[in-house]
Chains A and B, each alone.
Chain A
Amino acid sequence: MLTPTLPETKPIKLSVRDMAFSYGPKKILDGLSMDIHAERVTAIIGPSGCGKSTFLKCFNRIHEVAADVDVSGDIQIDGVDIYRGGIDVVDLRRRVGMVFQKPNPFPKSIYENVAFGPRLFGVKDRETLDGIVEDALRKAALWDEVKDRLKESASGMSGGQQQRLCIARALAVNPEVLLMDEPCSALDPIATSKIEDLISELKESLTIVIVTHNMQQAARVSDYTAFFWLGRLVEMDLTERIFTTPKVQMTEDYITGRFG
């Protein structure tokens, strides 16, 4: 089931065709196809264990760090296969940033957290780094809160601030896509709404894919919503349609809380 052809003016950034994912003998994702448009927010919803996070991790191949997995089918970024298209995985991960479920700042200063990525790619000049750090922190709506304590440890920040720092850290390497794996699940409602505002601002220049357990959050922040069940894509459509007139009964049941 592909993304409906609607008055969509944005190009396709990520495209998935008939993709399957196995971990050992266990098939986690199967027969997946979808298109994700640039500068849009695409939400992935579904019950726990349906493969949402796994799906997200396929876009930057971060799962390869932990285990041997088998990915078949096609996943393309700007038309280039990210598994077989001769793409350097390090470069892929720079282009496809990730924000994790639990805020995971490095045990370093606020400044060093944001400067970590640029330093990896050889940025050494102090002024350039300062500029990148400030820019990333501004984009993550964190600059005003931390500009006077950039040298302090990131572990002294609140959970919401830490998560925005992680977003700033991801933004500092100038990614094209931002993957967010339940970024608000560890945050209180105020911190959550700040992140949601941020998502709306960031999509001006980024492609965002967000996994969420929170139905209201999907409805609030996303343009498209995809509903996963048992490793398969059940339905994907414009968010307002998924939440008002879903085509599949199962989607409606899940959204209205009748199962899941």
Chain B
Amino acid sequence: MNAAAPVFRRSRTSKIVDRLMRGVLWAIALTFVAVLILFVGAILKQGWPVLNLGFLTKMPETLDAGGGIKPQIFNSIYLVILSLGISLPVGLGAGIYMAAYAGQGRALRFLRLCIETLAATPSIVLALFGMIVFVQAMGWSFSIRSGALTLALLNIPVITRVTEVSLLAVPRELKEASYGLGATKLQTILKVALPYAATGILTGLVLTAGRAFGESAILVFTAGTNASAHFPDFRLTVPGETLSVHLWYVTSDGTLPDAREIAAGTAAVMILVLLTLNLLVRLVDRAIRRRTR
């Protein structure tokens, strides 16, 4: 070795700091996972004894013990699907516009600010907005349609942002290849960019669905705390109490003798649905990746 060459040796402290940081990060992660397991475990433990076929398939009782949550399960799913049906086209369209068509000027920055503000708006504010506009001004009262539209307001900014970010992450080389073959902008978006961004958008969509599924404030004020006596009731004009609203309602206002059990069971069902939803996304995501990358 050349005598004049400096010796590059890793200092002792940098090694120790490296180990230390690794330990700290591990501890943080472990704590977080432990809390999560305790939390989910507690909910499932309390809810488990209540969970049976009768609970899932019976109509709720108003005064007596032993009621089920059948219409609430239906309403939860129905409202998520309806609200996504409204917010997906709007959010996708807005996201595509922002990523591909809007210039980099002031208008885009303002639009982005609006969307971020909407995303950060507390859901209770959206709830009251929905109640004033849809329930009262439009005269739709507490109904599925009031709930679905207000819920869509919650979803739209998230879907917009996720779509924009996923599209901006599409490698420039792929877009160039597409343009280089004579593709128009629209063709490039539809045939190259969107398929590439699909997994990102899908993940965002499921997170949105999960959030909408668990949302309560908005629906208390727009879809109401009553469930239709018919099942399944697809009408958009009837009130549609969801699982999370039911959970809140029976514990705060309920006259039911078994409110605690019903709340525990409802919470357990919600947790299980969300777990399933997330698992499903993983599977779909992996399938798409395998097919396209």
Contact = CB atoms under 8 A, between A and B. Distances in A.
Interface of A: 60, 62, 65-66, 90-91, 93-94, 97-98, 100, 102, 104-108, 116-117, 120-121, 153, 155, 166, 169-170, 173
22 contacts: A60-B180, A65-B175, A90-B183, A93-B179, A102-B173, A104-B173, A104-B176, A104-B177, A106-B174, A106-B177, A106-B178, A106-B192, A107-B293, A116-B178, A116-B191, A120-B181, A120-B183, A120-B187, A120-B191, A153-B291, A155-B293, A169-B181
A126 to B, nearest CB: 18
Contacts of A91: 182
B175 A120 contact: no
**Closest CB pairs A-B (n = 10):** A104-B173, A94-B182, A117-B181, A98-B180, A93-B182, A107-B292, A104-B177, A90-B182, A65-B179, A107-B293
A1 B176 CA distance: 32
A131 to B, nearest CB: 18
Given A108-B292, A120-B187, A97 B175 contact: no
Nearest to A98: B180
A169 B181 CA distance: 8
A80 B134 CA distance: 60
A34 B90 CA distance: 50
Interface residues of B, number: 22
A251 B180 CA distance: 32
B78 interface: no
B180 A170 contact: yes
Contacts of B291: 153
Interface of B: 171-184, 187, 191-192, 195-196, 291-293
Contacts of B173: 100, 102, 104
Contacts of A105: 177
Contacts of B183: 90, 120
Nearest to A92: B182
Contacts of B196: 107
Given A105-B177, A117-B181, 17 more contacts: A62-B180, A66-B172, A90-B184, A93-B181, A100-B173, A100-B176, A100-B180, A102-B173, A104-B173, A104-B174, A106-B178, A107-B195, A107-B292, A108-B195, A116-B181, A120-B191, A173-B181
Contacts of B292: 107-108, 153
Contacts of A153: 291-293
B173 to A, nearest CB: 4
A170 B179 CA distance: 11
B287 to A, nearest CB: 13
Given A106-B192, A107-B292, A155-B293, A121 B179 contact: no
A94 B177 CA distance: 12
A215 to B, nearest CB: 26
Contacts of A169: 177, 181
A104 B187 CA distance: 17
Nearest to A88: B182
Contacts of B174: 104, 106-107
A169 B292 CA distance: 17
Contacts of B177: 100, 104-106, 166, 169
Contacts of B175: 65
A189 to B, nearest CB: 23
A121 B182 contact: yes
Contacts of B176: 62, 65, 98, 100, 104
Nearest to A166: B177
A170 B183 CA distance: 12
Contacts of B191: 116, 120
Contact of A117 (B172, B182, B192): B182
B132 to A, nearest CB: 45
B201 to A, nearest CB: 15
Contacts of A65: 175-176, 179
A146 B254 CA distance: 68
A234 to B, nearest CB: 28
Contacts of B187: 120
A166 to B, nearest CB: 7
B193 to A, nearest CB: 11
A62 B179 CA distance: 7
A102 B174 CA distance: 11
Nearest to A94: B182
A239 to B, nearest CB: 26
Contacts of A100: 173, 176-177, 180
A189 B274 CA distance: 53
Contacts of A116: 178, 181, 191
A120 B189 CA distance: 13
Given A62-B176, A65-B176, A102-B173, A94 B293 contact: no
